[in-house]
Each structure stands twice: as C-alpha cells, then as structure tokens.
Amino acid sequence: MKMVQAIIKPFKLDDVREALTEIGVTGMTATEVKGFGRQKGHTELYRGAEYVVDFLPKIKLEIVINDEKVEAVIDAVLKAAQTGKIGDGKVFVMDVEQAIRIRTGEEGNEAV
C-alpha cells in the first residue's frame, strides 16, 4: 500500500476530489494547512499598513491506496490541480506498512 500526499491550492479541492472519485478512489483526508515553497509568500495591505504573508493557505490531501492505483492517482491529482502558475503544489508518495479498519478489524488492502 502507498500513501499519496498532495499539497494543492484550496480552490482546486473540488476538481481534485472529482478526478479521484472518477478513477475509483473511495476515501481521502483533506486538511487545511499553511506553508510556502519557492512562492515565498506575498505582501498585503491592511488598514493602510503593509505586511508580509509568509505562509500561504493550502490543502493537504492524504490518500491511502493499493500499489496498483498509485500512478492513476498521481496523474489525476496532477491534471486536476495544475494551473500552470507558481504555487500549484507538490505530490509525495510513501510506503504504508499496515492499515486496520477500526470498525471491523480488517487489515491491509481490505481496510483501504
């Protein structure tokens, strides 16, 4: 099993969710996060005072899937989340050693 983590722009969440649903992903976790990469943040004006926003709002998606679906999930996220502008995000893939469904006790691929 693998965990795919994707950091995306917040307004792309619905597009990515729909793309993942179309390829058969039945569950995911979405978390509101803040961060920066090469984008480095930006300057905003509030009540006449200028201030720097270092951490930008993002969405972190976590999807645990069978090994066979990894490439399809990555492709779906890349196509749905891409705007072509700086700050589109990143995708990370990690091994998952074990998964257990709390309700039934199912383990491994059956738990996913």
Predicted confidence (pLDDT) at residue 3 exceeds the cutoff of 80: yes
Residue 49 is predicted with a pLDDT of: 76
Average pLDDT, the chain: 91
Give the span between the Cα atoms of 96 and 35, in whole angstroms: 25
- Provide mean pLDDT across the span 32-42: 78
Give the span between the Cα atoms of 60 and 62, in whole angstroms: 7
Nearest C-alpha neighbor of 78 from the set 61, 101, 56: 61
pTM: 0.85
- Provide mean pLDDT across the span 53-69: 92
- Fold classification of 2-110 is Alpha-Beta Plaits (3.30.70)
CB neighbour burial string for 16-31, b if at least 16 within 10 angstroms, e if fewer:
bbebbeeeebeebebe
Partners of 32 in beta bridges: 59
Domain boundaries, given as residue ranges, for the chain: 2-110
Residue 67 is predicted with a pLDDT of: 95
Give the span between the Cα atoms of 106 and 11, in whole angstroms: 35
